[in-house]
Structure 1
């Protein structure tokens, strides 16, 4: 992996910095973290600005180095992140780009890149969380449609989404990993009920979703019928391997702000605190190098990240929690102020060892697929 920058890439960095410096001051105020309808407008508005400036496809249409430069510079400048459309930009979009037909790519990719359409994720179920293949939402074929009934939980951004990447069981008699199909479901279809779930931080970016004979065109199937588990592994590879890339840069920035706050407040004399901050600095520096490797590997293997994403996701989840635990210690009583972004980030960090596959699942993947250890008892 060559991490040196070409003259063309440095020119891209300079042009991006100039564009950011002229664009960011003109952005409207950011809505509250709990206002997802407002966040949708804000986040998709930012995506449209990126698209119109020629940066819209950087998440899956650019070279690894260009993407990393983009993430570094936007985070350093304090630019908005993907926000409400993270499923479309970082999960569904890359999956369709890798597995979809030409017609599907034409229909769905540009609206995501322009910020016109938002996606949510309908994977987990009340009785099929970490054991995702145990899902029971059924889809029966009726002519040119699938008729879907069942329920989903932790459906990210269902309350503001236009489309849902949905996993359904199309063959109940097949082994559980072989009877699954990946569908794109329009969220305005009759038979869909969405009930927001309030998180510990007070936000409602997750929801329960109930499906009662929802009709989805067969043309909305990505991949073959009953081949959805393989397509899902592509989606999860993006989710674990590259979707958190920008957050690593953000955590490194937060770490610097935390060190500055410790100096200003007099906490810098605490040798234990300095040691913890130094260890986290080393951790996030290593995670950034691993990110560079994962993104480069994805490019070399056709755009789909490998199992190294599980190594990254496992380490990053725990490092992020540690970062905001230390932040709470440094901030003291101010860390209890629910209106502060630090507090919201600390509460949301608790979900990272569960979301996108629990830490236990990631350890199993690392043990079996990287280390070659035998599968444990089920």
Structure 2
């Protein structure tokens, strides 16, 4: 595979780079609240959409640009190089679930405002007793005339407090095998009976939540696909969630490495050959993530659906992020414990759950060994 830009891709990159130079918002020196940072991310989402840089590879009929998926990788890379706010991750996977499994009415209602940023999403999958073993979920949805009544408890609902809607998995057939009795629903976050409690993580941010569903009623039209399609919808969603270009991982890695390089130069740390070696290794790890993502997006451009290869990208992305964050701790020295590098400490703790969410590292390795390499399970 030729990883160099084609003529079309080079022109697109140059145009995008010029647009970013003119539009990336100024940095804030003051400490901002989580609500302010969420507002900044939303404003950037809408700015990108207005500039024509959201939904690059989405079908034109749903508000996209109809371009090659490799353009998503270029956007991801250049957004990070420009030190811009994060790309809207959930468009890349919840939006895809709507595109692939929603009916025409759901697509028309939800996809355009999802791309524009008018609707923000969260994902109601994990539960206190059903994380990595997602098929063990106990949240239930009972049909009652023209409605479903949803009752249960979800955990680790990222960005739930900022979301307008949630893609919720619930069991509709308690007698079916556990993978087959699950369905997916579109649930408004302001529904009666829905209570959200933010969870403060180790980095001090309430970026995720637990959500209680106490007889939440939704219309039957909230069902995505058919009853029992939930597992298929969930696996497709997390397959896109594991893609570095779909969730903005390349952008984040580029931003963090550039920041760390600036710090190392400013403090004179680059005079140490060991520091230069570790920075080089961090660059190589990021490049591996970028090239693997580009290869997978190129494969997608031929019409191949996202599959097990996303597990490879997920492991590489996790390791690159965690090792870069650990290096940042080392290079900031005493500032880590004095509080002068609170953001670096926060980023470090933010990378720790990456080994678990979207499917744990152990599950990813099982998928690679059994489904890609064809190794026996025992």
User: Would you call these one fold, judging by a TM-score over 0.5?
Assistant: yes
Q: Extract unaligned runs of 5+ from structure 1.
A: none
* 1:8 matched residue in structure 2: 8
Equivalent position SS for 1:327: helix
Alignment of 1:1-378 (within 5 A): 1-25=1-25, 29=28, 34-35=33-34, 37-58=35-56, 60=58, 61=64, 62-82=67-87, 86-87=89-90, 89-242=91-244, 246-301=248-303, 304-336=305-337, 337=339, 340-376=342-378
> Which deviates the most, 292-301 or 178-187?
292-301
Equivalent position SS for 2:353: coil
CA 1:133 to 1:243, structure 2 compared with 1: closer, same or farther past 3 Å?
Answer: farther
Once the two structures are TM-superposed, the CA of residue 222 in structure 1 deviates from its matched residue by 1.6
Once the two structures are TM-superposed, the CA of residue 290 in structure 1 deviates from its matched residue by 0.5
CA 1:343 to 1:136, structure 2 compared with 1: closer, same or farther past 3 Å?
Answer: same
Once the two structures are TM-superposed, the CA of residue 126 in structure 1 deviates from its matched residue by 0.2
Equivalent position SS for 1:185: strand
CA offsets 1:47-74 (integer angstroms, 9 cap, x no match):
2222222222226443122212212222
CA 1:157 to 1:69, structure 2 compared with 1: closer, same or farther past 3 Å?
Answer: same
Once the two structures are TM-superposed, the CA of residue 260 in structure 1 deviates from its matched residue by 4.4
Once the two structures are TM-superposed, the CA of residue 346 in structure 1 deviates from its matched residue by 1.1
> Which deviates the most, 246-255 or 197-206?
246-255
Once the two structures are TM-superposed, the CA of residue 243 in structure 1 deviates from its matched residue by 5.2
> Which deviates the most, 112-121 or 280-289?
280-289
User: Are the counterparts in 1 of residues 76 and 245 from structure 2 also a CA contact under 8 Å?
Assistant: no
CA offsets 1:228-282 (integer angstroms, 9 cap, x no match):
1111111011001245663224324433443443344343344443333333322
CA 1:263 to 1:10, structure 2 compared with 1: closer, same or farther past 3 Å?
Answer: closer
CA offsets 1:160-210 (integer angstroms, 9 cap, x no match):
211001110011111110011111111111110111111111111111111
CA 1:338 to 1:142, structure 2 compared with 1: closer, same or farther past 3 Å?
Answer: farther
Once the two structures are TM-superposed, the CA of residue 362 in structure 1 deviates from its matched residue by 0.7
Question: Aligned partners of 1:141 and 1:131: how far apart in 2?
Answer: 25
Once the two structures are TM-superposed, the CA of residue 375 in structure 1 deviates from its matched residue by 2.3
Question: Aligned partners of 1:10 and 1:22: how far apart in 2?
Answer: 19
Once the two structures are TM-superposed, the CA of residue 29 in structure 1 deviates from its matched residue by 4.5
Once the two structures are TM-superposed, the CA of residue 354 in structure 1 deviates from its matched residue by 1.1
Equivalent position SS for 1:298: helix
TM-score, normalised relative to structure 1: 0.91
Q: Extract unaligned runs of 5+ from structure 2.
A: 59-63
User: Are the counterparts in 2 of residues 294 and 306 from structure 1 also a CA contact under 8 Å?
Assistant: no
Number of equivalenced pairs: 370
CA 1:55 to 1:267, structure 2 compared with 1: closer, same or farther past 3 Å?
Answer: closer
Root-mean-square deviation (CA), in Å?
2.2
Equivalent position SS for 1:112: helix
Equivalent position SS for 2:85: coil
User: Are the counterparts in 2 of residues 122 and 164 from structure 1 also a CA contact under 8 Å?
Assistant: yes
Question: Aligned partners of 2:340 and 2:203: how far apart in 1?
Answer: 8
Question: Aligned partners of 2:40 and 2:274: how far apart in 1?
Answer: 40
Question: Aligned partners of 1:212 and 1:243: how far apart in 2?
Answer: 36
> Which deviates the most, 227-236 or 57-66?
57-66
CA 1:43 to 1:279, structure 2 compared with 1: closer, same or farther past 3 Å?
Answer: closer
